[in-house]
Amino acid sequence: MSSSSKSISNNDKTSVLEDEEEFSLVVSKGRDLLENKTEFQTDDWVWTRDLDDGGIFFFCYLLIDYRQQTLNKNSLRESVHTLNLLLHKMLPPREKTGLPLLGEFQVIFTLYERLKREEMTWDDCEKYIMEQISEHQNSN
C-alpha cells in the first residue's frame, strides 16, 4: 500500500471517528436533557424514554423546530418516530451504502424536508433515498 493510500485510509478513519464522536455527543446531551430537565419529566414526554440513539439524535435536532414553534408536541413526537422508522426501514446497511453515520441521518433529514413540501409514496421515498446515496457516493 502506498503512503498516499495509507493517508487516505487514515483520513477516512479519522473522519469516521469524528462522525461517531459527534453523534455520541449529541445523543449524550439529548439523554442528559431528557433525564435532568424538569420540562421533560411530565407524562407528555414519557415517549422519549423508549427512544434508541437514533431517535434521541432526531429528537435533539427536531427540538429546535419545537422551540421555534414550527412543531407542536404531537408533531415532534410523530416526526421523531417517523424519521427513526425511515432510518431503520429505508436505508440499506451502511456497509452497502458507504455512508458515514451522520450521512445516513442527513439523507433522512433531506427526505424529511422534501416530505414537508410534497406528498410522496413509499416507492418515491425509496427512489429519492437511493438518489441521495448515489450523490453521496459520487461526491466521495
- Name the average pLDDT for the chain: 87
For residues 45 and 128, give the distance between their C-alpha atoms in angstroms, rounded to a whole number. 32
Q: Are 72 and 41 in contact (CB under 8 A)?
A: no
Full residue range of the structural domain in which residue 95 is found: 3-139
pLDDT at 109: 92
Q: Quick one: cell of 19? A: 462522525
Please give the radius of gyration of the chain, using alpha carbons only, rounded to the nearest integer: 17
SS3 sequence, 108-130? HHHHHHHHHHCCCCHHHHHHHHH
Is the confidence at residue 61, as pLDDT, over 70? yes
Is the confidence at residue 100, as pLDDT, over 70? yes
Q: Quick one: cell of 5? A: 493510500
pLDDT at 2: 40
pLDDT digits (tens, 9 = 90+) for 6-31: 444 555 666 667 778 999 999 999 99
**pTM reported for the whole predicted model:** 0.81
Is the confidence at residue 134, as pLDDT, over 60? yes
Arithmetic mean of pLDDT, 105-127: 91
Number of domains into which the chain is organized? 1
For residues 109 and 106, give the distance between their C-alpha atoms in angstroms, rounded to a whole number. 5
